[in-house]
Amino acid sequence: MSRIQNKKSSVQLITIDSDDDTRRIDNFLMSKLKGVPKSRIYQMIRKGEVRVNKGRIKQSYRLRLEDVVRIPPVSIATTIDQGKPPAYMLEMVRSAFLFEDDDLIALNKPSGIVVHSGSGRSFGIIEILRYLRPEQTNLQLIHRIDQETSGCLLLSKTGQGLRDLHKALRSKQVEKKYIALLKGDIGKQELKVDVPLGKNIMLSGERLVQVDKDGKVAQSSFKRLRRFQDTCLVNVRIETGRTHQIRVHSRHIGHPVAGDDKYGDRDLNKILRRSGLKRMFLHAAQLELPDYGREGLSINAPLTANLQEFLDSHG
């Protein structure tokens, strides 16, 4: 049984070295204040409790060499004896490896597992992997994908690897391709969607993303691979990586993702569920890292068995 204890930290003054150079202040604080809720960390930044070189900063501030960060006293919830991840989760992650070297791990993330714990989930991909690899103390998520989405997920094993790949993502040097089943037919031509997205937090605490002219730039390209009676299989290439981007963009163009309980078409979902589709049909199929190593790196994640079986019967 796990139990939580709270302890009060003291003031910390941390001088930034090369390991944290260019890292965002919010991500840096989360790594230093494990057990502190994200909402509290952002509150500390907003109120100026966190200082860099004695000055206030925004949550998007990127640290520089020799910066001095002041972290105020804060109550930290420490989990004692969190326990062992369930055996089925351990086996799913063990069998999900696509690629590994000294800096990088690529997984074919199973659908149904979150990438990190929280919101009532005791274990995510990162916690499971840390349990399996206790000797690797620098394991970090490089990016995220939704709980119900399967496919390519990158994790770093070193601080340098994390910074290099974050830089590549920011400069759009990483090409991401997804496979999705959409309602209706988008047509033969490639369909480009350039519509900004904004986030809302509902009263229930659930995050909802919607088209918002004042939101962040979001760009997706849809290309039909195969047409069925009421749906079409598409390849989706995303230029940006906004939360729920493909799901919201596909709904915006009138072709929501099949099986999507939040942004999808309820009537279509019911029909497809009776035909065997038990999850959202969205899969991160490919990641291209042209500047990784000497020859670049291409990571391909085959469709999960449940999606492939449905597709075979659906066709």
CATH number of the domain encompassing residue 35: 3.10.290.10
Are 275 and 170 within 8 A, CB to CB? no
Q: Which of 50, 80, 110 is the last residue of a domain?
A: 80
Do residues 129 and 40 share a domain? no
The 8-class DSSP code of residue 64 comes to -
> Which residue, among 133, 126, 177, 150, has the nearest Cα to 299 in the 3D structure?
177
Do residues 66 and 124 share a domain? no
Do residues 188 and 291 share a domain? yes
Do residues 26 and 46 share a domain? yes
Q: Which of 80, 107, 141 is the last residue of a domain?
A: 80
Do residues 206 and 240 share a domain? yes
The pLDDT, as a whole number, for residue 79 is: 44
Do residues 59 and 98 share a domain? no
The pLDDT, as a whole number, for residue 251 is: 97
The pLDDT, as a whole number, for residue 22 is: 82
In whole angstroms, give the CA distance from residue 152 to residue 289. 12
Coil vs helix vs strand at 20: coil
> What residues make up the domain containing 128?
87-165
Catalytic residues: 146
Count the domains in the chain. Answer: 3
> What angle separates helix 87-94 from helix 125-132, to the nearest 10 degrees?
80
Distance in Å from the first CA to the final CA of the chain:
47
Are 65 and 21 within 8 A, CB to CB? yes
CATH number of the domain encompassing residue 138: 3.30.2350.10
Do residues 177 and 309 share a domain? yes
Give the helix, strand, coil percentages of the chain, each rounded to 5: 25, 30, 45
> Which residue, among 93, 101, 158, has the nearest Cα to 132 in the 3D structure?
93
Residue 54 identity (one-letter amino acid)? K
Do residues 148 and 24 share a domain? no
The per-residue pLDDT string of the chain (315 residues; one tens digit each, 9 = 90 and over) reads 333 344 555 688 888 876 677 889 998 898 888 778 888 899 999 999 999 999 999 999 999 888 899 999 887 654 444 578 899 999 999 999 999 999 899 999 999 998 887 666 778 899 999 999 998 888 888 888 999 999 999 998 887 777 788 778 777 788 999 999 999 999 988 999 999 998 876 656 677 899 999 888 999 999 999 999 999 999 999 988 888 999 999 999 999 999 999 999 999 999 999 999 999 999 999 999 888 877 889 999 999 999 999 999 986
| Pairing assessment for the beta strands 68-71 and 51-52 based on DSSP bridges | antiparallel
Do residues 201 and 308 share a domain? yes
Are 151 and 125 within 8 A, CB to CB? no
Do residues 101 and 60 share a domain? no
The pLDDT, as a whole number, for residue 167 is: 78
Q: Which of 45, 80, 115 is the last residue of a domain?
A: 80
Do residues 143 and 269 share a domain? no
Do residues 197 and 98 share a domain? no
| Secondary structure (DSSP) of 219-242 | EEEEEEEEE-SSEEEEEEEESS--
